Amino acid sequence: MLVAFQMFASRLSGLPFSFTAHAKDIYLGELNPGDLLSLKMSRAKFVVTCAGANRRRLEKLCPPHTPLHTIYHGIDTSLFEPSEDVGDASGGPRVPLILSVGRIVEKKGFDYLLKACHRLRRQGRDFKCLIVGGADKHSETIERMIGELRLEDTVAVQPSVTQEELKQIYERATIFALPCLVTDNGDRDGIPNVLVEAMAMKLPVVSTDISGIPELVQSGVNGLLVPSRDEARLAETIGA
């Protein structure tokens, strides 16, 4: 909608415009019926997107005269840096904490994280799992699954927090897991910022091999990637 206003304002004023295309702007057909996305790119001075995977998709639609740039999102590395004095104040062994962060929407793959937690519990593993994220369309599904899988004592869902509070949660975590997926309507993440934050906090990360995530996480080098919608592989990788 914003780009439509930009096109209209550009035609009235004669001034050029540019826009940034995020995942939903690219992959959700209802936001760009017909050839609207190609039309917007044809009239823009240039177009920016935040992942190489997004750029490759746009290149198929982008007119040859429109410059197309990939600019990765950054984070505040002065904030997301592990503290030297982090530890268990009680001096006792800590129960491993699996952390995941994101809006409670289907494309984050929280369903599969819960199924993986269920498998790990059946194996007798002792751990906790915390999902931090704002309530959204998928919240009721996640709460229902926690009950159905009898994970009430293992998995907790916490509302969104400030970045400073989130850093403290990262420091409590043992591993970060975000099993992103492509939904049936094509919605997906580009490169989730929380993966970048977790890696900056020197947490082991497990995610999936979709979209732009492999541009950040090189499996076996700086993290581990599993196929999306595969709770068995996810559980195996988290528990390794």
- For residue 47, pLDDT over 70 is answered with yes
Residue 28: band (very low, low, confident or very high) from pLDDT cuts 50, 70, 90: confident
Choose between 84 and 236: higher pLDDT.
236
- Comparison of pLDDT for 26 and 8, the residue scoring more: 26
Mean pLDDT score of the chain: 92
Q: Is the model's pLDDT at 230 over the cut of 90?
A: yes
Q: What is the pLDDT of residue 3?
A: 64
Threshold 0.85, pTM exceeds: yes
Statement: residue 9 has pLDDT above 90: no
Q: Are 166 and 80 in contact (CB under 8 A)?
A: no
Compute how many other C-beta atoms are within 10 angstroms of the C-beta atom of residue 26: 21
Q: How far apart are CA 13 and CA 203, in angstroms?
A: 49
Average confidence (pLDDT) over 97-121 = 97
| pLDDT tens column, 58-87 | 998 888 889 999 999 999 999 999 987 655
Please report the pLDDT score of residue 92 as a whole number: 57
Range in 30-34, 45-49, 55-59, 94-98 the model is least confident about: 30-34
Is it the case that residue 209 has pLDDT exceeding 80? Answer: yes
* pLDDT (average), residues 99-124: 97
Backbone angles phi, psi at 9, to 5 degrees: -65, -35
Closest by CA position to 99, among listed 197, 183, 228: 197
pLDDT of 4 over the 80 cut: no
Predicted local confidence at residue 222, as pLDDT: 97
pLDDT at 84: 77
pLDDT at 6 (0 to 100): 73
Structure-token match 């581990």, residue found: 224
pLDDT over 70 percentage in the chain: 94
Helix (H, G, I), strand (E, B) or coil at 205: strand
What sign for the dihedral angle of Cα 208, 209, 210, 215? positive
